[in-house]
Copies of this chain bind each other. A is one copy, B any other.
Amino acid sequence: MLSLMSDTNDGYLELGQLVALIVQEKTTTRADLARLTGLARSTISQRVDQLLNLEVLVGAGAGPSSGGRRPTLLTLNPAAGIVLAADLGATHARLAMATLSGQIEAEHGMDIDIAEGPDVVLPWLMDRFAEMLDENGRSPRDVRAIGMGVPGPVEFLTGTVVQPPIMPGWDGVIIPDVLCKQFDVPVLVDNDVNIMGLGEYWSRGLRDEQVLFVKVGTGIGCGIVTNGQVHHGADGAAGDIGHVRVTVETDVLCSCGNLNCLESLASGSALARQLASEGLEAKNAMDVVRLSQAGDAKALRLVRVAGQRIGEVLASLVNFYNPSRIILGGALAGLHDNLLAGIRAVVYERALPLATRRLTIETSAFGHRSAVLGATILGTHGALTPGNISDWVRNESASS
C-alpha cells in the first residue's frame, strides 16, 4: 500500500508517489488513480499529463468502458530509464542492464579478482557499465539506479563494506560514494547471499513465502527474505550461519577462532581440505564438485555428511523461523542429490512436524544468475521509491 502523505510541499514527490502507485498497479486509468488516491479528478489529469509529456508514463491502449468513451490505460514507460546491476564474487563478476520493470536487456559474466581492492575493481566496474550502455545504445543519463552485491558483510543503509573476510582492502569502503562520481543515482549494495535470496524470491514470484536462501560454496551463508524484503538484523550481520557450532567427535578450529563452526566442517573449502588430507587432488570447492561428479566415493561420502551437518543447523532454524521454503545455492549446490538428500533427511527428522508441514527444500532455480537477478531487483526498487522517482522527474523537467 502506498501513501500519498508527504512531509514536504515538493510537487515532484507527489509525482513520484503517483508513478510508484502506477508501477504497483501495473496499468491503471485516470479515474482509478482518482479513486485510489482520493485526489480530485482534475488534479490527477493535470499530473498525468505532466508525466506523459516527460515520457515517464506512456499510454497502453484503451481500458474497458464504464459507459462513455473508453479510458486510456496508463503504464510506466519502459524507455523511461534503466537500472544497472552487478554481482561481484571473489573471482567472478556478472553484470546486467535492465528496464525499470526488471526485464534484462544485456548480461555478461567475466573474471575478476576482488582481492585487487576497490581502487582497481570499482573503476573497472564503472568502465564495464559505460561499455554496456554504449553497446546497447543507452546513455549514462538513462540510468535511474544501480543494484549491487559483494561477497562480504555490508551495512545496507549506507552501502559500506564491514570487516569482509575475503575482500582485502575493502573494509569501510562506502561503495555508493565511489560509484556516484560517475553515476549520480541511488546505489544499493548488499551481501551476495542476500541478493541471491532476493533474486529467487522476486524472479519466481514467491509472494507470501518466507524464504531462506542457503549458499554453500567456499563459505556458508544464508539470506532471509520475508515480505519481499531482506532481513538484515541489528548490525547487518543476519544470516551468518557459517559460524554456528555443530556437534563433532574431534574438534576443528575455524578461521574465526572458535571450534566446530559449520563452515569449518561443511563448506567447499573444508571438504577440499578433508579430501586433500586423504591424498586426493583437491584445492577448492570446484575440485570437490569435480571429484564428486566423477563418482569418487570418498568425495560423495563427504558431501553427504556435509549435507547432514548443514541440515542439523537448518533444523534449528526451521523451528525458530518456520520458513516456507529453503533454497540451496552456491558452488556445492551443483551436487544436488547428495547434498540435498543429507539436508532433507536431517531437517525432516529433527525439526518439529508443525514447522515442516508445508516446507519445501530445493535447489536454486537460477543457479549462478540468482545474484545478478537480485541486484537488478535491488536496482528497480531503488529507482522506484517515490523520493527517487521525484529526483529523476525533477531532472527530466529541468532538462526538457
Interface residues of A (CB under 8 A from B): 1-6, 14, 35-40, 153, 162-163, 209-210, 222, 224, 226, 231-241, 243-245, 247, 256, 258, 312-313, 315-317, 319-324, 350, 352, 354-355, 357-359
Task: Decide if B321 touches A231 in the complex (CB within 8 Å).
Answer: yes
Q: In the complex, what's the smallest C-beta–C-beta distance from A345 to chain B, in angstroms? A: 14
Q: In the complex, what's the smallest C-beta–C-beta distance from A79 to chain B, in angstroms? A: 28
23 A-B residue pairs with CB within 8 Å: A1-B1, A2-B3, A4-B37, A6-B38, A37-B38, A38-B39, A40-B40, A153-B354, A163-B354, A226-B231, A231-B321, A232-B322, A233-B321, A233-B323, A235-B355, A235-B358, A237-B319, A238-B320, A238-B321, A244-B315, A244-B319, A245-B316, A321-B321
CA separation between A234 and B355, bound complex, in Å? 8
| Chain B minimum-CB-distance residue to A316 | B244
CA separation between A313 and B246, bound complex, in Å? 11
Task: Decide if B352 touches A237 in the complex (CB within 8 Å).
Answer: yes
Task: Decide if B4 touches A357 in the complex (CB within 8 Å).
Answer: no
Task: Decide if A234 touches B209 in the complex (CB within 8 Å).
Answer: yes
| Chain B minimum-CB-distance residue to A163 | B354
Copies in the complex: 2
Q: In the complex, what's the smallest C-beta–C-beta distance from A42 to chain B, in angstroms? A: 11
A315 partner residues in chain B, CB cutoff 8 A: 244-245
Task: Decide if A240 touches B320 in the complex (CB within 8 Å).
Answer: yes
CA separation between A241 and B355, bound complex, in Å? 11
Task: Decide if A320 touches B37 in the complex (CB within 8 Å).
Answer: no
CA separation between A235 and B320, bound complex, in Å? 12
Task: Decide if B354 touches A234 in the complex (CB within 8 Å).
Answer: no
| Chain B minimum-CB-distance residue to A248 | B247
Q: In the complex, what's the smallest C-beta–C-beta distance from A327 to chain B, in angstroms? A: 14
Excluding A2-B5, A38-B39, 10 further A-B contacts by CB distance (< 8 Å) are A1-B3, A3-B4, A6-B38, A226-B231, A233-B355, A235-B322, A236-B322, A237-B319, A237-B355, A247-B247
| Chain B minimum-CB-distance residue to A257 | B353
CA separation between A355 and B237, bound complex, in Å? 6
Task: Decide if B354 touches A322 in the complex (CB within 8 Å).
Answer: no
CA separation between A263 and B206, bound complex, in Å? 34
A354 partner residues in chain B, CB cutoff 8 A: 153, 162-163, 235, 237, 240
Task: Decide if B247 touches A234 in the complex (CB within 8 Å).
Answer: no
CA separation between A241 and B320, bound complex, in Å? 6
CA separation between A352 and B153, bound complex, in Å? 12
A358 partner residues in chain B, CB cutoff 8 A: 234-235
A37 partner residues in chain B, CB cutoff 8 A: 4-5, 38
CA separation between A245 and B210, bound complex, in Å? 23
| Chain B minimum-CB-distance residue to A242 | B319
A162 partner residues in chain B, CB cutoff 8 A: 354
Task: Decide if B312 touches A240 in the complex (CB within 8 Å).
Answer: no
CA separation between A238 and B352, bound complex, in Å? 10
Task: Decide if A352 touches B256 in the complex (CB within 8 Å).
Answer: yes
Do A234 and B359 form a contact, CB below 8 Å, given A3-B3, A38-B39? Answer: yes
CA separation between A324 and B235, bound complex, in Å? 8
CA separation between A39 and B182, bound complex, in Å? 41
Do A234 and B210 form a contact, CB below 8 Å, given A1-B5, A3-B1? Answer: yes
Task: Decide if B319 touches A240 in the complex (CB within 8 Å).
Answer: yes
Q: In the complex, what's the smallest C-beta–C-beta distance from A213 to chain B, in angstroms? A: 13
A317 partner residues in chain B, CB cutoff 8 A: 316, 320
Partner of A350, one of B210, B258, B322: B258
Task: Decide if B245 touches A312 in the complex (CB within 8 Å).
Answer: yes
Partner of A320, one of B222, B232, B236, B247: B222
Task: Decide if B38 touches A323 in the complex (CB within 8 Å).
Answer: no
Partner of A38, one of B4, B243, B316: B4
